[in-house]
Amino acid sequence: MNKNTVLAWATIIMIFVGLGLIALGAFRYDDVAGWGFAAVGFGFFAVAWVFNALKGRV
């Protein structure tokens, strides 16, 4: 496994975790905590986007 493969797997895992957090915020928690879960989920998407952009450059 080279660096690009590791970044690709990290990106995929972070997308799934982000989707899970957004789903928790949308369907499980109806109060203010739901907004926090969704915000952290979108943060995971941002970091996954950075990992995807780094593929081939590192």
Residue 50 has what pLDDT? 92
Within 10 A of 25 (CB to CB), how many other CB atoms are there? 20
Residue 57 has what pLDDT? 80
pTM given for the model = 0.84
Residue 11 has what pLDDT? 92
Residue 44 has what pLDDT? 95
pLDDT averaged per 10 residues, the chain (length 58): 89 95 92 92 94 83
Distances 42 to 1, 2, 4, 27, 53 between C-alpha atoms, Å:
28, 27, 23, 16, 17
